[in-house]
Amino acid sequence: MHEMSIALNIIDIVSSQARAEQAQKINQIELEIGELAGIMIDSLEFCFEAASKNTLADGASLSIIRIPGKGICHHCHNEIDVDNFITVCPNCGGFGVEITQGKELKIRSINID
Amino acid sequence: MCDTCGCGQPGDPVTIRKPGQENITHNHDHPHPHSHDHTHESEPSHDHGRTLRVEQDILLKNNLLAERNRGYFEAKKIFALNLVSSPGSGKTTLLERTIATLKQEFPIAVIEGDQQSLRDADRIEKTGVPVVQINTGTGCHLDADMINRAVHELDPKDQSLLFIENVGNLVCPALFELGEAHKIVIISVTEGDDKPQKYPTMFSVADICIINKTDLLPYVDFDLEACKQNASQVNSHLQFFDLSAKTGEGLDQWFEWIRKQVKPS
Ligand SMILES: Nc1nc2c(ncn2[C@@H]2O[C@H](COP(=O)(O)OP(=O)(O)OP(=O)(O)O)[C@@H](O)[C@H]2O)c(=O)[nH]1
Ligand SMILES: [Mg+2]
Ligand SMILES: [Zn+2]
Ligand SMILES: [Zn+2]
Ligand SMILES: [Zn+2]
User: Residue B164 forms beta bridges with which residues?
Assistant: B82, B111
* pTM, rounded to two decimals: 0.88
For each of the domains in chain A, give its residue range(s) and CATH number, in order of start.
Answer: 2-112 (3.30.2320.80)
* Inter-chain Cβ pairs, chain A and chain B, closer than 8 A: 129
Chain A interface disruption, residue of B54, B63, B183, B237, most A CBs within 10 A: B54
Q: Does A95 touch chain B (CB under 8 A)?
A: yes
From B204's Cα to the closest Cα of chain A, the distance in A is 7
Size of chain A in residues: 113
Chain centroid to CA A99: how far?
A: 16
Taking the CA of residue A75 and the nearest CA in chain B, the distance in Å comes to 13
Q: Which residues of B touch A36 (CB under 8 A)?
A: 201, 204
Is any atom of ligand 1 closer than 6 Å to the C-beta of B173? Answer: no
**C-beta of B166 in contact with ligand 1 (< 6 A):** no
Is A91 at the interface with chain B, CB within 8 A? no
Tell me the per-residue pLDDT of B214-234, one tens digit each, with 9 for 90 and over. 999 999 999 999 999 999 999
Query: Is B35's CB within 8 Å of A113's CB?
Result: no
Question: Is B85 touching ligand 1 by the criterion CB < 6 Å?
Answer: yes
Chain A residues with CB-CB distance to B42 below 8 A: 21
pLDDT at B196 > cutoff 80: yes
C-alpha dist (Å) from residue A96 to A7, A42, B227, B237: 33, 31, 17, 8
Do A3 and A64 meet the contact criterion of CB atoms below 8 Å apart?
A: no
Give the burial string for B145-157 (b: 16+ CB within 10 Å, else e). Answer: bbbbbbbebbebb
Residues facing B209 on adjacent strands: B185, B240
**Measured distance CA(B93)–CA(A111) in Å, rounded:** 51
Q: How far apart are CA A62 and CA A73, in angstroms?
A: 34
A63 or B22: whose pLDDT is higher? A63
Rounded distance between C-alpha atoms, residue B2 and residue B8, angstroms: 6
Q: Is B212 in the pocket of ligand 1 (CB under 6 A)?
A: yes
Q: Is A92 on the interface with B (CB under 8 A)?
A: no
Sheet holding A97-101, edge to edge: A79-81, A70-73, A97-101
The complex's ipTM works out to: 0.91
Mean per-residue pLDDT, B166-171: 94
Condensed to tens digits (0 to 9), the pLDDT of residues B11-46 reads 557 889 988 887 555 444 544 444 444 444 444 444
Q: Looking at residues A7-26, what average pLDDT do you find?
A: 96
Residues of A in contact with B113 (CB under 8 A): none
Residue count of chain B: 265
pLDDT of residue B13: 73
Average pLDDT estimate for A66-83:
92
- Sketch out chain B's domains with CATH numbers: 60-262 (3.40.50.300)
Closest Cα of chain B to A32: distance in Å? 9
What pLDDT, in 10s, does the model give residues B73-125?
A: 999 999 999 999 999 999 999 999 999 999 999 999 999 999 999 999 999 99
Query: Are the beta carbons of A95 and B232 separated by less than 8 Å?
Result: yes
Mean pLDDT of A54-64: 96
DSSP string, B13-39: --EEE-TT----------------PPP
Q: Does the CB atom of residue B120 touch ligand 1 within 6 A?
A: yes
